[in-house]
Structure 1
Amino acid sequence: MELVEPLLPRAFNELGEPAKAKFLELRERYWELGATAMMFTTYFKMIHPDVPDLPLRDRVSSDATGMPDALLDATAYGDFLDTLIPFGEQAAAELRAALHPEATPFSDSE
Protein backbone atom coordinates (compact mmCIF):
# COMPACT_ATOMS: atom_id res chain seq x y z
CA MET A 1 0.00 0.00 0.00
CA GLU A 2 2.84 2.39 0.80
CA LEU A 3 4.14 2.11 -2.76
CA VAL A 4 0.93 3.53 -4.23
CA GLU A 5 0.04 6.14 -1.62
CA PRO A 6 -0.28 9.76 -2.78
CA LEU A 7 3.16 10.83 -1.51
CA LEU A 8 6.00 9.55 -3.65
CA PRO A 9 8.77 7.63 -1.89
CA ARG A 10 12.10 9.43 -1.46
CA ALA A 11 13.85 6.97 -3.77
CA PHE A 12 11.69 8.30 -6.61
CA ASN A 13 13.71 11.53 -6.64
CA GLU A 14 16.90 9.58 -7.37
CA LEU A 15 15.49 7.98 -10.53
CA GLY A 16 16.18 9.12 -14.06
CA GLU A 17 13.27 10.26 -16.21
CA PRO A 18 12.57 6.89 -17.92
CA ALA A 19 12.62 5.09 -14.55
CA LYS A 20 10.32 7.74 -13.04
CA ALA A 21 7.88 7.25 -15.91
CA LYS A 22 7.96 3.45 -15.40
CA PHE A 23 7.33 3.77 -11.65
CA LEU A 24 4.45 6.20 -12.19
CA GLU A 25 2.92 3.88 -14.79
CA LEU A 26 3.04 0.95 -12.36
CA ARG A 27 1.76 3.11 -9.52
CA GLU A 28 -1.21 4.13 -11.65
CA ARG A 29 -1.87 0.48 -12.53
CA TYR A 30 -1.81 -0.70 -8.91
CA TRP A 31 -3.17 2.23 -6.86
CA GLU A 32 -6.66 0.73 -6.68
CA LEU A 33 -5.25 -2.58 -5.48
CA GLY A 34 -3.59 -0.67 -2.62
CA ALA A 35 -6.81 1.16 -1.82
CA THR A 36 -8.74 -2.11 -1.86
CA ALA A 37 -6.22 -3.81 0.43
CA MET A 38 -6.38 -0.83 2.80
CA MET A 39 -10.09 -1.50 3.38
CA PHE A 40 -9.10 -4.72 5.16
CA THR A 41 -6.52 -3.27 7.55
CA THR A 42 -6.80 -2.36 11.22
CA TYR A 43 -6.18 1.28 10.26
CA PHE A 44 -9.30 1.33 8.10
CA LYS A 45 -11.25 -0.41 10.86
CA MET A 46 -10.60 2.63 13.07
CA ILE A 47 -12.51 4.75 10.54
CA HIS A 48 -15.07 2.21 9.40
CA PRO A 49 -15.72 -0.58 11.91
CA ASP A 50 -17.30 -3.06 9.48
CA VAL A 51 -15.32 -5.35 7.19
CA PRO A 52 -16.37 -4.66 3.58
CA ASP A 53 -18.91 -7.07 2.16
CA LEU A 54 -17.90 -9.27 -0.74
CA PRO A 55 -17.94 -9.37 -3.69
CA LEU A 56 -16.27 -6.04 -4.42
CA ARG A 57 -17.00 -5.89 -8.17
CA ASP A 58 -19.79 -3.30 -7.88
CA ARG A 59 -17.94 -1.21 -5.29
CA VAL A 60 -14.68 -0.44 -7.03
CA SER A 61 -14.26 2.01 -9.86
CA SER A 62 -14.99 0.87 -13.37
CA ASP A 63 -11.33 1.32 -14.33
CA ALA A 64 -10.19 -1.46 -11.97
CA THR A 65 -9.43 -3.53 -15.04
CA GLY A 66 -5.97 -4.44 -13.74
CA MET A 67 -7.41 -6.28 -10.77
CA PRO A 68 -8.05 -10.00 -11.19
CA ASP A 69 -11.64 -11.10 -11.66
CA ALA A 70 -11.15 -13.66 -8.87
CA LEU A 71 -10.41 -10.77 -6.49
CA LEU A 72 -13.37 -8.65 -7.56
CA ASP A 73 -15.82 -11.57 -7.67
CA ALA A 74 -14.74 -13.48 -4.52
CA THR A 75 -17.66 -14.15 -2.19
CA ALA A 76 -15.61 -15.67 0.65
CA TYR A 77 -12.82 -13.87 2.50
CA GLY A 78 -10.48 -16.88 2.25
CA ASP A 79 -10.83 -16.90 -1.54
CA PHE A 80 -10.37 -13.14 -1.58
CA LEU A 81 -7.12 -13.39 0.38
CA ASP A 82 -5.91 -16.31 -1.74
CA THR A 83 -6.03 -13.94 -4.71
CA LEU A 84 -5.10 -10.67 -2.98
CA ILE A 85 -1.87 -11.86 -1.36
CA PRO A 86 -0.04 -13.24 -4.42
CA PHE A 87 -1.31 -10.42 -6.64
CA GLY A 88 -0.23 -7.85 -4.05
CA GLU A 89 3.18 -9.48 -3.74
CA GLN A 90 3.58 -9.37 -7.52
CA ALA A 91 2.54 -5.71 -7.64
CA ALA A 92 4.89 -4.79 -4.78
CA ALA A 93 7.78 -6.63 -6.45
CA GLU A 94 7.20 -4.75 -9.72
CA LEU A 95 6.95 -1.41 -7.94
CA ARG A 96 10.08 -2.04 -5.86
CA ALA A 97 12.02 -3.14 -8.96
CA ALA A 98 10.98 0.07 -10.74
CA LEU A 99 11.91 2.15 -7.71
CA HIS A 100 15.29 0.45 -7.26
CA PRO A 101 16.33 -0.63 -10.77
CA GLU A 102 19.97 -1.08 -9.70
CA ALA A 103 18.86 -3.87 -7.36
CA THR A 104 16.98 -5.79 -10.08
CA PRO A 105 18.69 -9.13 -10.75
CA PHE A 106 19.86 -9.93 -14.26
CA SER A 107 17.50 -11.97 -16.38
CA ASP A 108 18.53 -15.27 -17.93
CA SER A 109 19.09 -13.55 -21.28
CA GLU A 110 21.68 -11.12 -19.93
Structure 2
Amino acid sequence: MEKILIIDDQADLRKLLADYFQLNGYVVFIAKDGIEALRQAEKQPNIILLDINMPEKDVLDVFREICGFVSCPILFLTARIEDAEKISDFQAGGDEYIQKPIGIHELGARVAAHLR
Protein backbone atom coordinates (compact mmCIF):
# COMPACT_ATOMS: atom_id res chain seq x y z
CA MET A 1 0.00 0.00 0.00
CA GLU A 2 1.39 3.41 -0.99
CA LYS A 3 1.82 6.08 1.68
CA ILE A 4 1.12 9.74 0.90
CA LEU A 5 1.86 12.79 3.02
CA ILE A 6 -0.43 15.77 2.43
CA ILE A 7 0.93 19.06 3.75
CA ASP A 8 -1.48 21.98 3.48
CA ASP A 9 -2.61 24.71 5.85
CA GLN A 10 -6.23 24.59 4.64
CA ALA A 11 -8.17 22.08 6.76
CA ASP A 12 -10.94 21.58 4.19
CA LEU A 13 -8.46 20.78 1.42
CA ARG A 14 -6.49 18.42 3.68
CA LYS A 15 -9.70 16.55 4.46
CA LEU A 16 -10.80 16.39 0.81
CA LEU A 17 -7.43 15.06 -0.32
CA ALA A 18 -7.12 12.65 2.60
CA ASP A 19 -10.59 11.22 1.94
CA TYR A 20 -9.90 10.85 -1.79
CA PHE A 21 -6.56 9.11 -1.37
CA GLN A 22 -7.83 6.84 1.43
CA LEU A 23 -10.73 5.76 -0.80
CA ASN A 24 -8.17 4.95 -3.48
CA GLY A 25 -6.15 2.66 -1.23
CA TYR A 26 -3.43 4.96 0.10
CA VAL A 27 -2.24 5.23 3.67
CA VAL A 28 -2.58 8.96 4.32
CA PHE A 29 -0.59 11.18 6.65
CA ILE A 30 -1.48 14.86 6.98
CA ALA A 31 0.24 17.96 8.27
CA LYS A 32 -1.01 21.52 8.65
CA ASP A 33 2.38 23.27 8.90
CA GLY A 34 6.08 22.77 8.40
CA ILE A 35 6.77 21.54 11.92
CA GLU A 36 4.11 18.84 11.72
CA ALA A 37 5.27 18.02 8.18
CA LEU A 38 8.75 17.14 9.42
CA ARG A 39 7.29 14.82 12.06
CA GLN A 40 5.00 13.10 9.56
CA ALA A 41 7.78 12.76 6.98
CA GLU A 42 9.59 10.49 9.45
CA LYS A 43 6.95 7.87 8.52
CA GLN A 44 8.70 7.57 5.13
CA PRO A 45 5.86 8.31 2.69
CA ASN A 46 6.15 7.17 -0.93
CA ILE A 47 5.05 10.60 -2.18
CA ILE A 48 4.45 14.05 -0.70
CA LEU A 49 2.02 16.80 -1.70
CA LEU A 50 3.47 20.04 -0.35
CA ASP A 51 1.57 23.33 -0.35
CA ILE A 52 3.91 26.24 -1.05
CA ASN A 53 2.11 28.65 1.32
CA MET A 54 2.76 27.22 4.77
CA PRO A 55 2.78 28.83 8.21
CA GLU A 56 5.48 28.36 10.87
CA LYS A 57 8.47 27.59 8.62
CA ASP A 58 9.59 28.60 5.14
CA VAL A 59 8.38 25.91 2.75
CA LEU A 60 11.71 25.59 0.95
CA ASP A 61 13.45 25.06 4.29
CA VAL A 62 10.90 22.35 5.13
CA PHE A 63 11.42 20.85 1.67
CA ARG A 64 15.20 20.71 2.10
CA GLU A 65 14.92 19.18 5.56
CA ILE A 66 12.52 16.51 4.32
CA CYS A 67 14.83 15.71 1.41
CA GLY A 68 17.57 15.08 3.95
CA PHE A 69 15.90 11.90 5.20
CA VAL A 70 13.11 10.99 2.74
CA SER A 71 13.66 9.91 -0.83
CA CYS A 72 10.37 10.19 -2.68
CA PRO A 73 8.66 12.43 -5.23
CA ILE A 74 7.57 15.77 -3.80
CA LEU A 75 4.85 17.60 -5.68
CA PHE A 76 4.37 21.29 -4.97
CA LEU A 77 0.77 22.50 -4.72
CA THR A 78 0.15 26.21 -5.03
CA ALA A 79 -2.01 29.02 -6.27
CA ARG A 80 1.11 30.98 -7.27
CA ILE A 81 1.43 31.71 -10.93
CA GLU A 82 4.73 33.58 -11.22
CA ASP A 83 7.22 31.81 -13.49
CA ALA A 84 10.16 32.92 -11.34
CA GLU A 85 8.63 31.21 -8.29
CA LYS A 86 7.96 28.03 -10.26
CA ILE A 87 11.53 27.99 -11.52
CA SER A 88 13.00 28.46 -8.04
CA ASP A 89 10.80 25.65 -6.71
CA PHE A 90 11.99 23.30 -9.47
CA GLN A 91 15.60 24.35 -8.90
CA ALA A 92 15.16 23.46 -5.24
CA GLY A 93 14.39 19.92 -6.37
CA GLY A 94 10.61 19.60 -6.59
CA ASP A 95 9.34 16.87 -8.89
CA GLU A 96 6.24 18.66 -10.12
CA TYR A 97 4.49 21.97 -9.71
CA ILE A 98 0.69 21.67 -9.58
CA GLN A 99 -1.39 24.79 -9.70
CA LYS A 100 -4.55 25.00 -7.60
CA PRO A 101 -7.34 24.58 -8.20
CA ILE A 102 -6.93 21.17 -9.81
CA GLY A 103 -9.46 18.42 -10.34
CA ILE A 104 -9.13 15.70 -7.72
CA HIS A 105 -9.04 12.91 -10.32
CA GLU A 106 -6.31 14.66 -12.30
CA LEU A 107 -4.30 15.08 -9.11
CA GLY A 108 -4.82 11.39 -8.35
CA ALA A 109 -3.58 10.48 -11.82
CA ARG A 110 -0.47 12.66 -11.42
CA VAL A 111 0.32 11.08 -8.06
CA ALA A 112 -0.10 7.59 -9.53
CA ALA A 113 2.16 8.51 -12.47
CA HIS A 114 4.92 9.60 -10.12
CA LEU A 115 4.64 6.37 -8.17
CA ARG A 116 5.05 4.17 -11.24
* TM-score, scaled relative to structure 1: 0.29
Structure number having the greater strand percentage: 2
Larger Rg: 1
Q: TM-score, normalised by structure 2?
A: 0.28
Q: Which has the higher contact order (CA 8 A, sep 6+)?
A: 1
Q: Which has the higher helix share?
A: 1
